[in-house]
Amino acid sequence: MKKPYRLICLSGLIILLASCNNHAAKNASATTAKNDTATAAPAVSVITDTTINKNNRNKLNDVALYLAGMKPDSFIAIPEKLQNLEYYKLYSDSMNRGFAHIEKIRLSKMRDWAKTEMAPELASPKTVFYPFSGPDVLHCVQFYPDADQYIMIALERYGSLPVMEKMNAEKTTNTLNSILKSLEDIFGKSYFITRKMMRDVSNPWNGVTPVAAVFLVRAGYAVLDIKYKQLLDDGKTLVEISKDSVSSYRNACVEIYFRKNGASKIQKIVYFKTNLCDDAYEKMESFKANTPLQTYLNNLPECYTYLKSASYLMNYKTFSAIRNICLAKSKSILQDDTGIGFQYIDKNKWTVQLYGNYVTPVSDFKGVFQEDLHKAYTDSTHVKTLPFSLGYHWANKNTQNLMKFVRK
């Protein structure tokens, strides 16, 4: 659950299994863009097969399939003895049940809803910006399935895919257990609980990379390559580094390259682990002091921004930098009430569409009830229904909200 910023850590995340606890906490804050206007930026470069390390292609996807409880395409990366583990059969059954459950109650409904409510985004996807994301690419690709790139920022560690050829049965079982434990709130809710994320997703066998890979293959994509890079101080140049050195750099990131099954287009996730608050957080510098990452974000192409289970952080003055970047760079913003405070949305610049119902925030969060948003929901005659639950009010779709802001 998230508490005021001292105890928050970042990341809304995904849905899945059973019940559990509370909400994800986030960090983060961003930078410059003070005017609520779009800024020009270079186009997204096309990712080609030459970008991909072909030696990784089948190997990485086999590992992702195995961690997702799905049958690998070969025994190249997963020894036959590990595929035939008695525990793996139980693990696979649990994963199949969890994903089938959320597919029925949530994911399929999200995709159907997006066909009408997200038609412009589906027609011309380029860059999706998802601050406070954690590893939650799963929900993101339901709304934005064909984007060229997904820029994600949170506090969770990068992680890496395990080298299964070097693992025995005991270590493999521990690895699978850690993945399943990380997803238990996802199967029951639609986000990761921050304190659990920091405990489970930050264990030696876990992290954003393996969880995101699981989500991708379960969503119908194939993982092609994974690269670790650092952003140089110019805020424009990314250079490759070893995965073991990633924690040594100020602005390291992991890039996950993937492709929809049956398609030719290569897409990528770019994930940064960083503090987005205007103030320093624990041992991390403030985002305002992180000029390279500010430059990088401000040079992104005009994007579609997605915000979910974001701990209400951008309601606060201490998250002005990331809020301003979202407002300056976005062609549209899709969020629940935990995202950008409604007071910061200039109705002369944005068309507002409300969905669902706005109710009092869950008890974990105090002082974040938005009177102006409540009034907007009460006064509007154009609030549309929401056929699924997604976020902190996960138990009842009738208490869930979404809002879409489109730049005029």
Q: What angle do CA 161, 231, 156 make, to 5 degrees?
A: 45
Q: Which residue has the higher pLDDT, 78 or 392?
A: 78
User: In this predicted structure, what is the pLDDT of residue 200?
Assistant: 54
Q: Tell me if 35 is assigned to some domain.
A: yes
- Neighbouring CB atoms inside 10 A of 209's CB total 25
What is the reported pLDDT for 363? 82
Q: Which two tokens stand for residue 115?
A: 């066909």
Tens digits of per-residue pLDDT, 314-329?
A: 999 999 999 999 999 9
Q: What integer pLDDT is reported at residue 11 of this predicted model?
A: 35
Mean pLDDT of 194-200: 49
CB 63 within 8 A of CB 164: yes
Edge-first strand listing for the sheet containing 266-273: 238-241, 221-231, 252-260, 266-273, 149-154, 127-131, 303-307, 330-335, 401-407, 350-356
Domain membership of residue 176 (yes or no) is yes
Q: Is the pLDDT of residue 100 over 80?
A: yes
% of the chain surpassing 90 pLDDT = 70
Domain range holding 269?
Answer: 5-338
| Mean pLDDT, rounded, of the chain | 85
- Residue 331 falls within a domain, yes or no? yes
Which residue, among 47, 12, 27, has the nearest Cα to 259 in the 3D structure? Answer: 47
- Res 60 pLDDT > 90: yes
- 115-143: average pLDDT: 94
> pLDDT value at position 15?
31
> From the CB of residue 105, how many other CB atoms can be counted at a distance below 10 Å?
13
Which residue from 397, 341, 394 is spatially nearest to 372, judged by alpha carbons?
341
Distance CA 258, CA 20 (A): 31
Q: Decide if pLDDT at 201 tops 80.
A: no
SS3 196: helix
pLDDT at 26 over 60: no
Mean pLDDT of 37-48: 56
| pTM metric for this prediction | 0.87
In a domain, 398, yes or no: no
Residues 211-270: tens digit of each pLDDT: 999 999 999 999 999 999 999 999 999 999 999 999 999 999 999 999 999 999 999 999
Q: What is the per-residue pLDDT across 262-317, written as a single tens digit (0 to 9) for each? A: 999 999 999 999 999 999 998 899 999 999 999 999 999 999 999 998 999 999 99
Residue 70: the pLDDT is 97
* 373 belongs to a structural domain: no
Number of domains in the chain: 1
On whether residue 228 sits in a domain, the answer given is yes
Residue 401 lies inside a defined structural domain of this protein: no
Low-confidence winner among 84-98, 181-195, 335-349 (lowest mean pLDDT): 181-195
- The answer to the question of residue 371 being in a domain is no
